[in-house]
Structure 1
Amino acid sequence: MQRCVAALAAVAMGMGVSVAHGEAYVSLGYGYHEQDDRFFGDDRFETGDLIAKLGGRINRWFAVEMRGGSTLNSNEDRLNGTPVKGEYRQKYFYGAYVKLSGPNATMATPYLIGGYTEGKEEMDVDGGGKVSDKWYDSSYGLGIDFGVSERFDVNVEYMFYRDKDNVTLKGPALSASWTF
């Protein structure tokens, strides 16, 4: 937890520098995340997650970003072939990231992103049971920002939020951002 607080503080300081230069942004998106199945007996399952971002561009090549998300479309199925049903979701995840963009003269700007993520997953079991687990991991991904106008961007990316202890949380996401 101390590492995440330190990383969020560093991101906030970087965003303070970028706000002074007029390059802060907010973003809202949807991630279609695939996860390893340790509950339902299949290989993998998908959830849909709402992702909010607050970031700042330090210069054309470097940005810092905070993210938070939660599951909108949980996965519901029978637990490992039993007649008992369960419903799985990421209750929340959040983190701090560094974004490195490639110099590009077109409206499409590729980037690499890396950082640290913490989260809490939850399983509601029919009959009143609930199982939850907190997790943390280093995260990384790649994407492309499409500059639609001077202040509006559309973004597509593929992120690996979690890849630890044979459990992954990864997948594509689409978002829109506003620079102020």
Structure 2
Amino acid sequence: MKMRIAALVVPWIGLGLISSAIADEPSPAYLSLGYGHHEQDDRFFGDDRFETGELIGKLGGRVNNWFGVEMRAGTTINKNEDDLRGLPGVKGEYAIEYFYGLYAKLGWANRTAFTPYLLGGYTEGKEKLDTDLGEEDQKFYDSSYGAGVDMDVNERVGLNVEYMFYYDKGNVTLKGPAASVYWKF
């Protein structure tokens, strides 16, 4: 699956770079690093929900002023630890080992420093529950969507805030806000 995603992303980002060279504009490609504060439906600890914090890296490019593509990857840096449901005294620690995805980005081009956008695509990942009794991991995948706004600080650097729904199957969701810094190159 990783090869399929790479086979889709590289040509899209390349198309954005080529179109900017032809149009004699600055490159529309960007790198981003941020933090997501994600909430999940609890199926391990006995509460309704729990939260984790993920480090998220993004690589993207614009094809034109309205449309772009983005790939991102992340991992948990702020794990959730608590007693397991139905097992008093048994501790568990939950983390997303990794997630990655490919997304199409539809932005509203305007004359301000703020660019609101909608994002949709596909995410895969692997979650892990580490307990006193052993370790359990499981892969997940789903279509993903979200909305956010980019704010250019200057010609090369900007800030981003968004709200993403990465995973929503059955009674399990992974969603939440994120903030990042991006650099255009």
Q: Please confirm whether the aligned pair reaches a TM-score higher than 0.5, indicating the same fold.
A: yes
TM-score w.r.t. the length of structure 2 is 0.92
* Cα distance in 2, alignment partners of residues 8 and 65 from structure 1: 11
1:57 — aligned with what? 62
Preserved contact between residue 47 and residue 75 of structure 1 (Cα < 8 Å): yes
What residue identity is the alignment partner of 2:9?
V
Structure 1 residue corresponding to 2:99, chosen from 58, 82, 93: 93
Q: CA RMSD in A?
A: 1.2
* Cα distance in 2, alignment partners of residues 23 and 108 from structure 1: 16
* Cα distance in 1, alignment partners of residues 11 and 126 from structure 2: 26
2:72 — aligned with what? 67
Preserved contact between residue 8 and residue 95 of structure 1 (Cα < 8 Å): no
Residues 155-174 of structure 1, C-alpha deviation per residue, up to 9 Å, x if partnerless? 00000000012110000000
* Cα distance in 1, alignment partners of residues 6 and 148 from structure 2: 22
Unaligned runs of 5+ in 1: none
* Cα distance in 2, alignment partners of residues 10 and 63 from structure 1: 13
* Cα distance in 2, alignment partners of residues 5 and 43 from structure 1: 37
Unaligned runs of 5+ in 2: 21-26
2:142 — aligned with what? 137
- Residues paired across the two proteins, number: 177
Preserved contact between residue 11 and residue 97 of structure 1 (Cα < 8 Å): no
The CA deviation at 1:14 is 1.0
Preserved contact between residue 35 and residue 168 of structure 1 (Cα < 8 Å): yes
* Cα distance in 2, alignment partners of residues 8 and 102 from structure 1: 27
* Cα distance in 2, alignment partners of residues 153 and 123 from structure 1: 35
* Cα distance in 1, alignment partners of residues 62 and 53 from structure 2: 28
SS of 1:39's equivalent in the other structure is: coil
1:150 — aligned with what? 155
Structure 1 residue corresponding to 2:7, chosen from 6, 9, 32: 9
> Between the two proteins, what is the percent identity of the paired residues?
62
